[in-house]
Structure 1
């Protein structure tokens, strides 16, 4: 892993222990450039996306072929939508600074409840027992999926150094993949220890020179389809979604 890669991701150079992988594009699909992507996941073969910004936040079922919504619901105008997770027949969507999460019926997208939490909401995923939440810090927080009570947390580290700005989350095979805000990398976290054991370099997907806003048009969105093993990523306002395969990255 070359020094420049570490510098971009971490802004320092700790001893390297995680495996480094790169993204190989399997297929490219359209994505609406008006979608400020905050959450991405598969549910029964359907791609679900939650988007952000006040007055523009949506929860949507997408056509992979066209990138357009097959069904969508608007969040209240005053909230900024964030990450989403599926729990059974419910979809749970966080908000950034409103301290509230909205619960929707998976099939109809009808709102069926909401709950409050402390701090900011960024990313959300579900490991089959616990909701796992990021809040922009170096912590992952665990919530009871029925009561939404906070039941624990873990500090996330890379080679012993804290890693903050954890954003969108996706649970895959016992690990939590996370976007690092404003970086073209994913990190894979052991949720029991908080240790990062793999870093994925996605710098080649959508070059920064093509983005209208280097601040806003950043990588964000990870969706894994367990039945097929497909892995999708996209970004805020990106024109494409990418189905990718992660392969070992040779030392440079």
Structure 2
């Protein structure tokens, strides 16, 4: 007890000495509750009312306009999620930095959707589905697990595997998408992806991703590849070089939405499987706001009528969209059925 008391005394004394030698004490004031489209004000105060030369504010590492000791931030530009706030103060030929963050939530609750089954098609029960895409009348699918990861071209109506290659056994295959007659395929933990020729399935090149670390789902819009990494972050990659450019964060009105897995862009919105929840999240690609939640738990019950789902991870995963005919398909890991469904807003 005497040693503990001595440590407390020494720490208190040291703090006092530091305070005396550094009379400038700054406090960063940030609003506690922030929702999308709010315009907020952050302020930096010098507690001892000492003069300083200037303050520069930064949001996510980028300088923003300020007025003396305050700055306004338009959250509509930032989108939802956590954003770093930094203030650098200049005084007496020195600088001091104060760090903080804001957490921006969606400004409304997501729309809840149920579904109607339109058609049912066969699906290979050995397919641990990771990526799924509809392209020119066929399904293209990537499967996971080391030693079992495969790229397949599949006939929709029969489930017949028309073309197939296996990934090196050291890799765990993940999501895929098709760009300019090339198939882009992610791996899970290897920080590596592969590009294949669409027609021959021959390997063209490899690429790395280091900012997002893991590969989960992959899709695209007109401007970029869109990648999930198992968190609430959605990454945008250059279509030609596969370089990671930036990201948004998926949030509802009260929390981050993580474990985002297989992806598909449908009518300009991002649809994402939430891993192990049999739920789809509909995400705005500009702001990251979760605009909708699709409850597909009933599909698992439908599967169990004809198939024993014995493993915990045999869950919903796989979204494909036939844009020409406005058809949406979903399936699951090792599910024996692929469902064409229509969403119904509640």
Please report the TM-score for the alignment, with normalisation by the length of structure 1: 0.90
Check conservation: 2:122, 2:336, Cα contact below 8 A. Answer: yes
Which residue, out of 63, 83, 93, partners 2:185?
93
Is 1:188 matched with 2:282? yes
Q: What displacement does 1:150 show?
A: 1.0
Higher relative contact order (CA 8 A, sep 6+): 1
Which residue, out of 310, 319, 322, partners 1:213?
310
Check conservation: 1:211, 1:217, Cα contact below 8 A. Answer: no
Q: 1:239 maps to which residue?
A: 336
Structure 2 counterpart SS, 1:182? coil
Q: 1:111 maps to which residue?
A: 203
Check conservation: 2:149, 2:172, Cα contact below 8 A. Answer: yes
Could you say if the C-alpha distance between residues 16 and 192 of structure 1 is closer, same or farther in structure 2, counting changes exceeding 3 Å? closer
Q: 1:35 maps to which residue?
A: 127
The 5 A counterparts of 1:166-205 are 166-205=260-299
Structure 2 counterpart SS, 1:17? coil
Q: 1:26 maps to which residue?
A: 118
CA offset digits 1:41-86 (Å, max 9, x no partner) = 1111211100001111001011112213111111111100000011
Q: 2:256 maps to which residue?
A: 162
Q: What displacement does 1:214 show?
A: 4.8
Is 1:146 matched with 2:243? no
Indicate the RMSD between aligned Cα atoms, in angstroms.
Answer: 1.6
Check conservation: 1:139, 1:154, Cα contact below 8 A. Answer: yes
Q: 1:49 maps to which residue?
A: 141
Q: 1:3 maps to which residue?
A: none
Q: 1:134 maps to which residue?
A: 228
Could you say if the C-alpha distance between residues 39 and 106 of structure 1 is closer, same or farther in structure 2, counting changes exceeding 3 Å? same
- Aligned partners of 1:235, 1:212: CA distance in 2, in Å? 10
Gaps of 5+ in 1: 1-13
Structure with the higher helix share, 1 or 2: 2
Which residue, out of 200, 207, 217, partners 1:123?
217
Is 1:83 matched with 2:175? yes
Q: 1:65 maps to which residue?
A: 157
Check conservation: 1:225, 1:231, Cα contact below 8 A. Answer: yes
Q: Name the count of aligned residue pairs.
A: 236
Please report the TM-score for the alignment, with normalisation by the length of structure 2: 0.66
**Which structure has the bigger radius of gyration?**
2
Check conservation: 2:137, 2:156, Cα contact below 8 A. Answer: no
